[in-house]
Chain A
Amino acid sequence: MRISLALVGVTALAVLLVPPLVRLDQQAVDLGAKLLSPSWSHPFGTDDLGRDLLLRCVYGLRVSLLVGVAAALAATVIGTAVGATAGALGGWADRALMRVVDTVSSVPHLLLGIFIVAVFRPGVWPVVVSVALTHWLSTARIVRAEVLSLRSRPYIDAAVSGGASRWRVAVRHLLPGVLPQAALAAVLMVPHAMWHESALSFLGLGLPTHMASLGNLIQSARGSLLAGQWWPTLFPGLFIIVPTLAIAGLAGAWRERINPRRRSELML
């Protein structure tokens, strides 16, 4: 828990502060220093164009996190809207919406993402949209279940008998109740979205190659890897793993706080 908090803190600081403070050009090419193995001056070594990998990784994490957060937010908004609508309306609307959720979730995420990116051509927005459109399903299910359980509470009955409209009950009374769950789902989705972005970028279907996301870093390191240089591949991958574990650890602790009964559930 403390380690996770510290790691998330360090990650956030690095991503937010390093680019404006360290006024080094991460794209600056220095062919005289290409593919240096890790040393004191370059802790992660350099890539095939002589750029410092630590700096590249921090910038890559920044790009990947931005895309991940944007996609997770969009997915949470879609999921909350669908889940809350289904739960609040009930009846055939609920059944129809949940059928849609079931249908979309029977297409493998990455494949659907690939399809969306393929027809819209790779770029930042298609990646965000494709991740958002494939990741809202679990949020919709969670929010719907939460709304259903809230609907039977006395305070909702009180609001309804007090003459509150359906819309008012949904927005003023149900939505605040589901927000903690939705927010938790959003936080847990960020690493997922990052993973997804890096997978798409790795396949050459993600962000444009000049944007140094972690997936692009791994993709562009393939040539060096086949020539035997392991560090341009290893470090960007670690930059995906460590924040993922830290966020999962933090979200797990948070989940235990907001619903202590689910202690036995797995974190990831």
Chain B
Amino acid sequence: MARLAGRRLLFAAPILLVVTFGVFAIAAASPFDPIKAYAGTAALGADAETLARLRENLDVDQPFTSRWWHWLTSALGGDLGQSSVLRQPVAQVIGERLVRSSLLCAVAFLVAVLTGTVLGVLAARRPGSVLDRLVTSLAYSLEAAPVFWLALLAVWLFALQLGVLPAGGLTDTASEQVTPGQVASHLVLPAGVLAVSQLPWFTLYVRQGVGDALAEDPVRGARARGLSERTVLLGHALRSGLLPVLTLVGSRVPELITGALLVESVFSWPGIAAATVQAATAVDFPLLAALTTLATAAVLVGNLLADLLYGLFDPRVKFSDM
């Protein structure tokens, strides 16, 4: 297991290298000018000489390959540059916001996995029943629904019509301190919507997996031995039905990040994703480059996690074969 993890990390390093290189290459091919981004409107009135000096100071007169190398070497030393839109070092931005984003994603994912398992098992128990058709069609509709649209409707319903939950932010505007209770109440809506957006996929796969498992020999055998329906369903069908789903859990990280991006921006949740949108709107290149790299790393970790989970839960899978 440690060997698998180690090998995957060895593979991850070149992928991250290529991704950061690609980010610099795309920026170099685009009309984006770091000087104008740095100086803002002041660049409009500045004479050519000042701009050239600025260019030299910021090292942007060099080709993008050397700028990439410079960024990479200082990033490895912990210096990710300065975010122009948030007026903070990029490392500090990420450090502050990563916790909040992780909290949001973790809660949402947990809720999605638990609810999805329950709904999937309920639907798989009697294929073609009213409940099954209800769950399936609801899942397909939710899968097709844009998450930001769901988020907006949730704000309308729960914050505006019912007035039971806050519409956004991390804490109440009047509050000076960040208390756990406030964060919890502000977390309910964004995490709920993010969970709902991840739910359909999970429900459908659990339904499929458990449904298939219910038609297989171990289940028939268990039924023949006279085990209760409950034991058959939860002890046999669910266990083998969940296996294929487990491998996919880790590969859902990109979708989770995508969902979080949109949910955070609707609810003004001050996390990584909200910073990404700000960085993109203002073309804050150092922040964007770091966040893209971070997201890629998260995806790779997710993939590794999926493999490890699979090996742990399925005794037939050997780590040495992977």
Contacts and interface: CB of A to CB of B under 8 A. Distances in A.
Contact of A107 (B167, B208, B279, B292): B292
B30 A119 contact: yes
Given A111-B261, A225-B155, A233-B153, A240 B277 contact: no
Residue among B208, B253, B258 having the largest count of chain A Cβ atoms under 10 Å: B258
B295 A108 contact: yes
- Is chain B's binding surface mostly helix, strand, loop or mixed? helix
Interface of A is mostly: helix
B141 interface: yes
Nearest to A226: B160
Contacts of A264: 208, 212
Interface stretch (B42-50, B110-118, B142-150, B311-319): B142-150
A240 B280 contact: no
B36 to A, nearest CB: 12
Nearest to A214: B146
Nearest to A195: B146
A240 B145 contact: yes
Interface string A92-131: 0000000000111011111110111111110000000000
A193 B160 CA distance: 32
Contacts of B167: 226
Nearest to B16: A106
Nearest to B258: A110
Interface stretch (B18-26, B89-97, B219-227, B232-240): B18-26
B26 A115 contact: yes
A120 B160 contact: no
Interface in B1-38: 15, 18-19, 22-23, 26-27, 30-32
B108 interface: no
Contacts of B140: 245, 248, 267-268
Given A107-B19, A118-B280, A230-B153, A266 B299 contact: no
B300 interface: yes
B250 to A, nearest CB: 12
Contacts of B144: 191, 240-241, 244-245, 248, 268
Contact of A106 (B15, B26, B261): B15
A111 B145 contact: no
Interface in B245-280: 253-255, 257-258, 261-262, 265, 276-277, 279-280
Contacts of A202: 146, 148, 262
Nearest to B149: A237
Interface string A72-88: 00000000000000000
Given A118-B288, A119-B26, A268 B143 contact: yes
B26 A110 contact: no
Contacts of B276: 111, 114
A199 interface: yes
B201 to A, nearest CB: 8
A256 to B, nearest CB: 16
Nearest to B147: A199
Interface string B202-217: 0011001000100000
Interface residues of A, number: 47
Given A205-B280, A233-B152, A268-B144, A106 B19 contact: yes
A203 B277 contact: yes
B131 interface: no
A253 to B, nearest CB: 14
B277 A120 contact: no
A199 B145 contact: no
A151 interface: no
B145 A241 contact: yes
Interface string A37-69: 000000000000000000000000000000000
B148 A107 contact: no
B145 A106 contact: no
Contacts of A195: 146
Contacts of B15: 102-103, 106
Given A199-B148, A234-B153, A115 B18 contact: no
A173 interface: no
A154 interface: no
Q: Which residue, of A118, A120, A199, A221, has the highest number of chain B Cβ atoms within 10 A?
A: A118
B185 interface: no
Contacts of A116: 26
A213 interface: no
B296 interface: yes
B283 interface: yes
Interface of B: 15, 18-19, 22-23, 26-27, 30-32, 140-141, 143-146, 148-149, 152-153, 155-156, 160-161, 167, 204-205, 208, 212, 253-255, 257-258, 261-262, 265, 276-277, 279-281, 283, 285, 288, 291-292, 295-296, 299-300, 303
6 contacts: A108-B253, A114-B280, A121-B31, A199-B258, A226-B167, A240-B144
Top 7 nearest A-B pairs (CB, nearest first) are A118-B280, A237-B149, A244-B144, A119-B30, A108-B254, A119-B32, A110-B258
